[in-house]
Structures are given as C-alpha cells and as structure tokens.
C-alpha cells in the first residue's frame, strides 16, 4: 500500500503524538506538512516536513491527501469543513466538534463531499477492547444484561492552572467520559436514554469534577457509570490497558459487563462462566478465565486503519456521524443533570 501524504493541523499535546506516530510508520504515511500559528517549530521533530502558520495556505499549497485535525475543539468544524471543501480525508480528534449544532453541520458537509473520516476515539483500536468485543459478539456471555463502568483518577492541582479547564466544557465529562461513552456504544450498542447527575463538591470550580449516569441501551442492557477527576483510584481504562504512559499500570479492570450466560471484566480481560454446562444460575459454581493480554499502540493501529480506509475502502470504525452520536450521548449527561430529567440522545442521520 502506498503511504498517505498526510499533514497535521495543531502541534500541541496530541498533535505531537500524531506526528511521532506518522514518523514512526513510514509504510503507512509520509508527513508532508504541519500547521500551527502558535507552536514553536523548533520544538517539533518535523523530519523535513514543511511548517505553516496558516492552515488555508498549507492545504492549498501542499494539497495533502489526508489531514489529522488536532486543534482546539472550537476549531474542529472550521477545519473539517476546510477539508471537505478540498476533498481531503481527515482524522478528527475527539470531540468531533464543540457542540451538537456544529456536529450536525459537519455530518452534512462530510456526506455532501464524500471524504472519508475517522474520529480519534483511539481506544477502539486497543487490542484488549477488540478482544472484549469479539467475546461479546461471539455470544459466549449471552445477551448483555448490565454494564458497570468507573473512570476515577485525581488530576494534579497544576492541571487546573489552564483556566479553560475550570470552565464549563473543560471538565471530565467532555475530556474523559466521552471516551467511556464511545466504548460503551461500541461494546454494548446504541444508547437509548441517559439520566445524569453532576457534582463540583470536591474543587468548587464552575465545571463539574464528578459525574454519574444511568444508561439504557437499545438492546435493553442497563449501564451505570461514574466518572471523576478528583478521586484517586486504580480504576481507569488507561491504568488497566497501558494505553497512556502517563497512567501507571494498575492491573485493574474498570468495566464489568454481565450477560445471561457469563460476565466479562476489562481491560484486564477476565471471563466468568459456569463451571459446567447447563443453565447458568446463582447455585451453580462459577469460574474465571484470564484471557491472554495483547497490546499494541492504539495510535499506530488507528493510523494503519486510516490508511486502509483510504487505500482499501475499509469502513471507518468511527466516522464523523458516529463521533457525533458519542458526543450527543456524552453531552446528555450534563444536560440531563441540568434539567433533572432523563434524555434521549440525538442520533444524527449519516
């Protein structure tokens, strides 16, 4: 497969990880340009790629065939539209856009332009998650019944020196819970309704530090989810999956899924089943099997998938419309908490 001629918009924290990933995978992509109006190009290892401070000039002069958009959320719609207008495929960092109105516009632009899109919910590319999905799809634990999920860690005090992080939109719902909501949609199916509550009791900022949600899925499965950046714990998917070197490995799982025939813990995969054949019921002995631990860098797997999408027409695992659905279900936690009622998230039409 020919490598993609790829450019990166935004050379901040995550943009640099994309740049490193691209440079480490010359068989998948060649970095042709990076555009950032503020970042210092001397701090970025460009390996000969062109540097721009204006994204329009970059897109028009370099004409990349694909772009990674790693700019602040408020610019996602603008940068996605710029790619659509030029027929450039794009990998958009999450959240797909800052608001649902913008998401609806971007879904429309993408459909009109026919460009291929992938939203950076990189966790879908983790081997442990793909293995968990295969167990669920195989029917081994039976029809899904419940999902209990926790994401709890304590962010250091200096994390909040950036003032946008203490304003609405900068908290754990849009930064962290969005990944779990995407995981839950992937593993358990479409979310039919959300009932959320939020709290700022730990830090007292204008933004939440904790959130909880009750979820109903289309298939009847029920979920409960707690998320906080103020509680010190070993229970985040990052700590059980080695996906992010910043999160030290705890060896603990953060998800417990139950099915009619068995249960699954993840991302440290443990499958619980009846010891003998016959009906699985509370008076039957249950046994646990640890499933083999596989790891691959989710960012590399994501880029390889993006290349196959463009070169081999592989269907995107998270097209923009899917990212929009994840955004809608995530924002529904905060909106439901504000309104004090259960909400049905927007589905969007592709």
Ligand X SMILES: NC(=O)c1ccc[n+]([C@@H]2O[C@H](COP(=O)([O-])OP(=O)(O)OC[C@H]3O[C@@H](n4cnc5c(N)ncnc54)[C@H](O)[C@@H]3O)[C@@H](O)[C@H]2O)c1
Residues within the interface to ligand X (CB under 6 A):
9-15, 35-39, 55, 70-73, 75, 93-94, 120, 122
Contact 56, 82 (CB under 8 A): yes
Least spacing, CB of residue 286 vs ligand X, in Å:
35
Residue 331 C-beta: closest distance to ligand X, Å: 14
Nearer to ligand X, 15 or 223 (CB): 15
Residue with Cβ nearer ligand X (93 or 297)? 93
Residue nearest to ligand X (CB): 12
- Give whichever of 26 and 74 is closer to ligand X, judged by the CB atom: 74
Dihedral angle, C-alpha 175, 92, 68, 245, nearest 10 °: 30
- Tell me the closest approach of the beta carbon of residue 76 to ligand X, in angstroms: 6
Q: How far is the CB of 334 from ligand X (least distance, A)?
A: 16
Structure tokens at 295: 């790891």
In the complex, what is the shortest distance from the CB of residue 62 to ligand X, in angstroms, rounded to a whole number?
Answer: 14
Distance (Å, whole) CA 241 – CA 343: 31
Rank residues 224 and 295 by Cβ distance to ligand X and give the closer one: 295
CB of 8 to ligand X, least distance (A): 9
Q: Which is nearer to ligand X, 273 or 322 (CB)?
A: 322
**Shorter beta-carbon distance to ligand X: residue 94 or 109:** 94
- Any residues with CB less than 8 A from the CB of 268 and at least 6 apart, and which? 128, 240, 251, 252, 253, 290, 293
- Residues whose CB falls within 8 Å of the CB of residue 69, separated by 6 or more in sequence, listed in order: 9, 10, 76, 79, 80, 83, 90, 91, 92, 93
């Amino acid at each position: 497969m020919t490598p993609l001629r790829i450019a990166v918009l935004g050379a901040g924290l995550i943009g640099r990880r994309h740049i490193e990933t691209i440079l480490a995978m010359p068989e998948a992509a060649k970095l042709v340009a990076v555009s950032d109006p503020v970042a210092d190009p001397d701090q970025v290892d460009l390996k000969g790629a062109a540097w721009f401070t204006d994204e329009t000039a970059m897109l028009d002069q370099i004409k990349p065939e694909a772009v990674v958009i790693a700019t602040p959320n408020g610019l996602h719609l603008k940068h996605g539209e710029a790619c659509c207008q030029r027929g450039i495929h794009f990998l958009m960092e999450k959240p797909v856009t800052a608001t649902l109105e913008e998401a609806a516009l971007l879904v429309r632009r993408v459909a009109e332009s026919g460009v291929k899109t992938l939203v950076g919910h990189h966790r879908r590319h983790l081997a442990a998650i793909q293995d968990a999905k295969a167990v669920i799809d195989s029917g081994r634990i039976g029809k899904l019944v419940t999902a209990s999920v926790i994401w709890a860690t304590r962010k250091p005090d200096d994390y909040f020196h950036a003032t946008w992080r203490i304003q609405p939109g900068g908290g754990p719902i849009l930064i962290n819970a969005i990944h779990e909501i995407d995981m839950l949609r992937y593993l358990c199916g479409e979310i039919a309704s959300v009932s959320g509550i939020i709290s700022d009791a730990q830090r007292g900022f204008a933004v939440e530090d904790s959130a909880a949600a009750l979820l109903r899925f289309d298939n009847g499965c029920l979920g409960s989810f707690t998320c906080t950046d103020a509680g010190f714990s070993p229970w985040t998917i990052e700590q059980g999956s080695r996906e992010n070197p910043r999160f030290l490995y705890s060896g603990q799982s953060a998800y417990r899924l139950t099915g009619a025939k068995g249960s699954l813990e993840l991302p440290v995969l443990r499958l619980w089943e009846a010891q003998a054949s016959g009906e699985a019921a509370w008076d039957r002995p249950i046994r646990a099997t640890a499933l083999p631990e596989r790891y691959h860098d989710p960012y590399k797997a994501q880029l390889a998938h993006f290349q196959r999408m463009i070169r081999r027409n592989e269907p995107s695992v998270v097209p923009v419309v899917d990212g929009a659905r994840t955004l809608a279900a995530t924002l529904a936690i905060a909106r439901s908490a504000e309104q004090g009622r259960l909400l049905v998230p927007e589905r969007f039409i592709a």
